């Protein structure tokens, strides 16, 4: 009887051996039993009869993984320190449908001379960066690329950072490419996913668009991969496998010898340094954008209120960015200074007035809003750090005639709600849109003549080597949503006007200066890795950290930048410790980590979060 080594999907287990009376090929999906539970496994290879007893494979599925998918998954498994089964769990298998459907175009994309130059540049390089201002026509260039690929009988993969971007982009793509477009994201129903997969597997889909999960679809005849808003942090997975979709798109392109285009108005320094870029300046609309800075703590000031009032009076629209959702971020005692924290996490609770509760945004724990300080029993709990819901409530009370809407994850819980809100805003049924970072995500708002940005100083003061880049990029992305057709004001509430004003018109100058700041210390010149340890007992987490720290200290090519308690010491009842590592090459880090890894260690290669 033949024996096969299997990787079990979505499990952290190493490969297991099973028997099968039927010969199997590498990549076939099979069903097996493991501790009386049914599991799906992937055939990795045939092996000799083992010395131990094995169970038989119970069923063979019609789906299978191709060699490129297994090779891709192996790289993810090695680089991001997860099992092969966890890496393969990202991918959608093939199912044997033929790839013969034809695709039709609706007209042809016409580019300007500058766009044609950019398009020619992108076609010359295996990986390139389109560094284009907001409104400069990056999407038309992408679409021209897609058009060319379709004419050659090839497909295109179009990655966007979040599903919040998909409704407008779907409209634009379908207007030109019709049924050749398939959108893929987590908010699709089971039936919608099945329909999308059917189009992808049959070859009917020529353009596959979506957030990072779209990278792992079973696409043959790929001609180009486009990663839009490549700077966006949501391309990085926060759970295992902790991959970065932009970096994996680049690896995928090399694996299949397919060109990769990265695009952004505020590219990451990493991409700017590593890849050739084409600078596309200006926009379709030659309107002015005037930046004004107000040195004030985070809050709605008379200047901001009067600016919004002037815009509403002119029947134009405004946007207000606040980094915090809900009502307020923290409750602090007016008598003793106690901060009301989550009982399971070492973070302050957020106030959600409309739910009449305080909620932890880390573990989800919620309770009724406390009336008095639990520490001193006498003081009142006062709020700090303005949130989106509080701002909306304020305007509803003070300016009931204004049509104000909230745009964050508390309100936009479904794709339907997202489409409805964007439609209402573009139809001018909303005067003021108050939101979090969702506001910055590449939407086209044509009547916005005022953008107000609060809370940038909080971002700028984070203990993160990218704090300056993240704060400036966010400001420019939000500002870029305004002034599309008419002159716009951008009011920035900050005590760091000197920093922001120096770069709002010259982001490339910032990138050139940031190079000097990072060289020899931080990415892209050095590789970083964060190793996390979490346990219900603080001493157990610390002991695991110290054990690994001792092992790592023997590797001279790897620097231990720091080891100790994580900035947020406790989350969901588990105490957290961390080690931050730095090296010249990722191979040095991987070698050291493989040798010293302990069971409690969770490894985050190329981390973007340090809190």
Q: Which residue ranges make up the annotated binding site for Zn(2+)?
A: 333, 336, 342, 345, 360, 363, 373, 376
Are 560 and 552 spatial neighbours (Cβ–Cβ below 8 Å)? yes
Residue 383 CA to residue 411 CA, distance in Å, equals 21
Nearest in space to 531 (alpha carbons), one of 247, 248, 242: 242
Q: Which two tokens stand for residue 540?
A: 């157990």
Point out which residues pair with 5 in neighbouring strands: 17, 45
Name the binding residues: 333, 336, 342, 345, 360, 363, 373, 376
> Among 261, 553, 318, which Cα is nearest to 445's?
318
Give the separation between CA 593 and CA 595, rounded to whole angstroms.
5
Helices (H), ranges, 111-257? 113-123, 138-151, 166-177, 190-202, 245-256
Alpha-carbon distance of 574 to 386, in angstroms, equals 29
Find all residues with CB under 8 Å of 386, minimum gap 6, and list them.
Answer: 298, 299, 300, 322, 324, 328, 454, 455
Q: How far apart are the first and last CA of the chain?
A: 53
Token representation of residue 183: 């959108």
Q: Rounded to the nearest 10 degrees, what angle do helices 467-479 and 507-518 cross at?
A: 170
Across the beta sheet with 432-435, the strand order is: 289-294, 488-493, 448-453, 317-321, 432-435, 404-407
């Amino acid at each position: 009887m033949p024996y096969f080594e299997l990787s079990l999907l979505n499990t952290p287990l190493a490969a297991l051996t099973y028997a099968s009376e039927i010969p199997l090929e590498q990549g076939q999906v099979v069903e097996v039993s493991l501790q009386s539970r049914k599991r799906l496994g992937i055939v990795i290879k045939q092996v000799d009869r083992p010395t131990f007893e094995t169970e038989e494979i119970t069923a063979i599925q019609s789906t299978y993984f191709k060699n490129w998918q297994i090779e891709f998954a192996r790289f993810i498994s090695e680089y991001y320190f997860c099992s092969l089964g966890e890496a393969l769990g990202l991918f959608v298998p093939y199912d044997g449908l033929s790839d013969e459907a034809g695709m039709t175009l609706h007209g042809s994309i016409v580019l300007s001379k500058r766009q044609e130059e950019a398009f020619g540049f992108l076609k010359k390089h295996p990986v390139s960066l389109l560094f284009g201002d907001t409104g400069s026509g990056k999407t038309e260039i992408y679409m021209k690329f897609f058009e060319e690929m379709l004419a050659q009988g090839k497909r295109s993969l179009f990655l966007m950072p979040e599903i919040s971007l998909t409704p407008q982009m779907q409209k634009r793509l379908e207007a030109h490419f019709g049924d050749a477009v398939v959108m893929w994201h987590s908010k699709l129903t089971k039936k919608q996913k099945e329909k999308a997969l059917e189009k992808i597997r049959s070859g009917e889909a020529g353009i596959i668009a979506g957030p990072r999960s779209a990278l792992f679809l079973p696409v043959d005849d790929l001609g180009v991969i486009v990663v839009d808003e490549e700077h966006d942090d949501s391309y990085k997975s926060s759970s295992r496998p902790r991959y970065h979709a932009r970096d994996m798109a680049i690896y995928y392109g090399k694996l299949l010898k397919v060109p990769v285009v990265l695009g952004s108005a505020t590219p990451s320094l990493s991409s700017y340094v590593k890849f050739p870029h084409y600078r596309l300046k200006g926009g379709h609309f030659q309107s002015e954008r005037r930046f004004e800075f107000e040195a004030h703590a985070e809050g709605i000031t008379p200047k901001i209120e009067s600016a919004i009032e002037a815009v509403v009076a002119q029947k134009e629209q405004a946007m207000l960015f606040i980094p915090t959702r809900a009502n307020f971020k923290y409750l602090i005692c007016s008598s003793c200074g106690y901060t009301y924290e989550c009982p399971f996490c070492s973070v302050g609770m957020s106030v959600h007035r409309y739910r009449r509760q305080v909620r932890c945004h880390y573990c989800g724990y919620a309770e009724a809003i406390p009336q008095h300080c639990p520490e001193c029993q006498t003081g009142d709990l006062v709020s700090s750090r303005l949130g989106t819901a509080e701002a909306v409530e304020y305007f509803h009370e003070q300016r009931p005639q204004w049509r104000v809407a909230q745009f964050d994850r508390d309100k936009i819980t479904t794709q339907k709600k997202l489409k409805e809100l964007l439609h209402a805003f573009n139809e001018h049924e909303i005067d003021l849109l108050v939101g979090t970072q969702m506001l910055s995500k590449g939407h086209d708002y044509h009547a916005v003549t005022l953008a107000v940005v609060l809370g940038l100083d909080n971002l700028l003061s984070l203990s993160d080597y990218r704090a300056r880049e993240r704060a400036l990029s966010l400001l420019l992305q939000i500002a870029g949503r305004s002034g599309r057709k008419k002159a716009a004001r951008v009011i920035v509430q900050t005590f760091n006007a000197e920093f922001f004003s120096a770069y709002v018109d010259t982001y490339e100058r910032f990138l050139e200066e940031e190079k000097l700041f990072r060289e020899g210390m931080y990415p892209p010149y050095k590789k970083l890795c964060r190793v996390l340890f979490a346990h219900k007992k603080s001493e157990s987490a610390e002991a695991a950290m110290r054990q690994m720290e001792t092992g790592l200290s023997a590797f001279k090519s790897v620097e231990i930048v720091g080891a100790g308690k994580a900035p947020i010491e406790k989350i969901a009842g588990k105490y957290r410790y961390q080690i931050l590592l730095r090296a010249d090459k990722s191979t040095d880090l991987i070698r050291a980590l493989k040798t010293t890894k302990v069971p409690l260690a969770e490894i985050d290669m190329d981390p973007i979060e340090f809190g």
